[in-house]
Amino acid sequence: MSNPFEALGLPAELVAVTQELGYEAPTAIQTAAIPPLLAGRDLIGRSKTGSGKTAAFGLPMLAQVDLNKRSLQGLVLCPTRELAGQVMRELRKLGRRHPGLVVAELIGGQPKRRQRELLERGVHLAVGTPGRLLDHLDHGALDPRGLRTVVLDEADRMLDMGFEEEVSSVLKHLPRTRQTALFSATMPERIEVLARQHQHNAVRVEGDEPSASGEAPTPHGAPDLPVGIRQLYVVPERGAELHALCAVLAKFPHESALVFCNFKASVAEVVALLSEAGLSVDRLDGDLDQFERDRVLVRFRNGSLRLLVATDVAGRGLDIEGLDLVVNLELPQDPSAYVHRIGRTGRAGRDGVAVSIARGAHGGTDRRLTDVEELTGQPIEALALDDPRPQGAVLRSLAREPRMATIQIAGGRRDKLRAGDLLGALTGEAGLEGDEVGRIDLRDKVTFVAVARQRAVAAAKALDQGRIKKRRFRATLLGRPAGSRGPAPGYRDPGGGPR
Ligand code: ADP
Ligand code: MG
């Protein structure tokens, strides 16, 4: 057997898919996890982010699915809607040679009724968030009797986010004869407890290879931080935390940056301060509905929004990479949340900076800093801020428009729109150059296109009045139009609320 995927015991059609996707060889976690999963064993797999865990469980799940039976055979639990979406897309990609395969996405923030209808028609695999899955199980919409395999993906994050009870309840609904696999980037003790409660004689596998810089892999149990992140902390005067935030933003030039707060109320405060000063900023917290959240993330990823202020719960599991800068307005209570927060900088071979504002509640340095250093085994450097300017002046220097602006178009995949159609309309009738068009994000019923900011108003108008594939679609510009000041039109002040 010359093909390394074939050697793991995968069937020919899945081996072919890995070739079509350009996977030359299985990653370490895939090599370790696929054979025992194919053999039906329970499994605990630990391996860092980006190491291919989805295919490690997805390929065996697909190898075992019986397409003739229209019943739920595989279920994946994910901590966030974004992650569930990623896993679903990956399963569909890997399942491209499974004709008629139905993978359902069962997540919160979307109408239950449509999900129920889909389940009634029958699905083979489902990916979802614990709360919504439990809801469907409780109401009998999801019939688990034919289930063979359940996967807890990003188990550490599910526990961090307080899903322990929901996860346990979901598992209690499932047949006892099922296979249970658990994947995680870290292995805190609470995961061991969960595993003991719900697994039988599980195999443990680890997938970490030495990191790119040739360092030894992190010891068992410690979270993996991508290499190339410069970690710093500052201790401002009492009450000068926001001033310090502004000085940090000014000191480290960035195209886009993420600011983390421990509370929704702090998010609101920071967003109000920065947006009043004319910065390109928006919030990401638990109060946004699915659509608002998606819209903010699209703008952030496509270069139409430079700063995002988030809470841990809302910010976890975001599919964002290669940020120049992450700032912690405050250190998180749970040190492992620190790793999740700053892990978004410096990916894809670029260096990033992570700065924590670490003033202790009673003065001095925040003690949580030491907890973080102990957990990661990496020192965090002290940073002196020497910007003599008053806060207002610093803020004014930061008020820069993002490069791009986002046009929302009221049509998507269901209207058979494709990226090429939009690119064609923009470079044709609207008269933009190819390099003035950025990311095109197609959803089912809506599309977001990034265009060069100075051309955005004209481009939106041209799209709105023109035709795409002989049809008219409403096109509107999102966020703040170029040159205006004050909060973006879509911004609602969520108000102070209790901390
Ligand atoms: P994790 O869940 O460990 O964070 P993912 O499953 O999201 O990682 O995989 C990260 C990326 O690697 C995905 O884009 C995936 O398509 C790709 N990938 C997975 N397996 C392989 C492989 N064997 N060779 C090359 N790329 C792979
Ligand atoms: Mg994953």
pTM of the model: 0.54
Task: Please tell me the predicted confidence (pLDDT) of residue 65.
Answer: 97
Task: Please tell me the predicted confidence (pLDDT) of residue 451.
Answer: 95
How far is 174 from 75, CA to CA, in rounded Å?
A: 10
pLDDT of 395 > 70? The answer is yes
Q: Residues lining ligand 1, CB < 6 A? A: 23, 26-27, 30, 47, 49-55
Task: Please tell me the predicted confidence (pLDDT) of residue 66.
Answer: 96
Question: Given pLDDT bands bounded at 50, 70 and 90, which one contains residue 483?
Answer: very low
Same fold, 4-206 and 231-393: yes
Contact 20, 96 (CB under 8 A): yes
Tokens (6 digits) for 309: 């202020």
pLDDT of 305 > 90? The answer is yes
Contact residues for 211 (Cβ-Cβ < 8 A; gap 6+): 217, 224, 227
Task: Please tell me the predicted confidence (pLDDT) of residue 261.
Answer: 96
Residue 5 Cα distances to 10, 26, 91, 268, angstroms = 6, 6, 17, 49
* Helix residue ranges per DSSP H, 161-289: 164-173, 189-198, 241-251, 264-276
Contact 36, 203 (CB under 8 A): yes
Mutation probe of ligand 1 site: the residue of 54, 88, 206 with most atoms within 8 A of C-beta: 54
DSSP per-residue string spanning 93-150: HHTTTSTT--EEEE-TTS-HHHHHHHHHH--SEEEE-HHHHHHHHHTTSS--TT--EE
3-state SS track over 195-223 = HHHHCCCCEEEECCCCCCCCCCCCCCCCC
Task: Please tell me the predicted confidence (pLDDT) of residue 229.
Answer: 85
pLDDT of 222 > 60? The answer is no
Q: Which CATH architecture has domain 231-393?
A: 3-Layer(aba) Sandwich (3.40)
Report which listed range, 222-226, 315-319, 360-364, is most confident: 360-364
437-454 per-position pLDDT tens digit = 888 888 889 999 999 999
Task: Please tell me the predicted confidence (pLDDT) of residue 336.
Answer: 85
Residue 158 Cα distances to 29, 52, 250, 321, angstroms = 20, 19, 35, 21
154-165 per-position pLDDT tens digit = 998 888 777 888
Please check whether the domain covering 404-478 is classified as CATH 3.30.70.330.
Answer: yes
Percent of the chain beyond pLDDT 90? Answer: 61
Residue closest to 120 by CA, chosen among 131, 104, 135, 138? 104
Task: Please tell me the predicted confidence (pLDDT) of residue 343.
Answer: 78
226-256 per-position pLDDT tens digit = 667 899 999 999 889 999 999 999 999 888 8
Please check whether the domain covering 4-206 is classified as CATH 3.65.10.10.
Answer: no
pLDDT of 498 > 80? The answer is no
Domain ranges of the chain: 4-206, 231-393, 404-478
Task: Please tell me the predicted confidence (pLDDT) of residue 495.
Answer: 36
Kindly identify the ligand whose nearest atom is closest to the C-alpha of 52.
1
Minimum-distance ligand 1 atom for the alpha carbon of 54: 6
283 alpha carbon, distance to own chain's centre: 15
Contact 280, 305 (CB under 8 A): yes
Percent of the chain beyond pLDDT 70? Answer: 90
pLDDT of 215 > 80? The answer is no
How many whole angstroms from 376 Cα to the centroid of ligand 1?
24
How far is 130 from 307, CA to CA, in rounded Å?
A: 30
Question: Which has more confidence, 298 or 348?
Answer: 298
Minimum-distance ligand 1 atom for the alpha carbon of 5: 23
Q: Determine the 3-state secondary structure of 184 from DSSP.
A: strand
Mutation probe of ligand 1 site: the residue of 5, 27, 319 with most atoms within 8 A of C-beta: 27
Task: Please tell me the predicted confidence (pLDDT) of residue 410.
Answer: 96
Beta-sheet pairing, 43-46 with 103-106: unpaired
Task: Please tell me the predicted confidence (pLDDT) of residue 490.
Answer: 37
How many whole angstroms from 428 Cα to the centroid of ligand 2?
39
How far is 299 from 310, CA to CA, in rounded Å?
A: 14
Task: Please tell me the predicted confidence (pLDDT) of residue 117.
Answer: 95
Minimum-distance ligand 1 atom for the alpha carbon of 185: 3
Chain position carrying tokens 């509640």: 361
Question: Given pLDDT bands bounded at 50, 70 and 90, which one contains residue 213?
Answer: very low
List the residue whose alpha carbon is closest to atom 17 of ligand 1.
52
pLDDT of 16 > 90? The answer is yes
Tell me the average pLDDT of the chain. 87
How many whole angstroms from 51 Cα to the centroid of ligand 1?
6
Kindly identify the ligand whose nearest atom is closest to the C-alpha of 83.
2
Question: Given pLDDT bands bounded at 50, 70 and 90, which one contains residue 41?
Answer: very high
pLDDT of 486 > 80? The answer is no
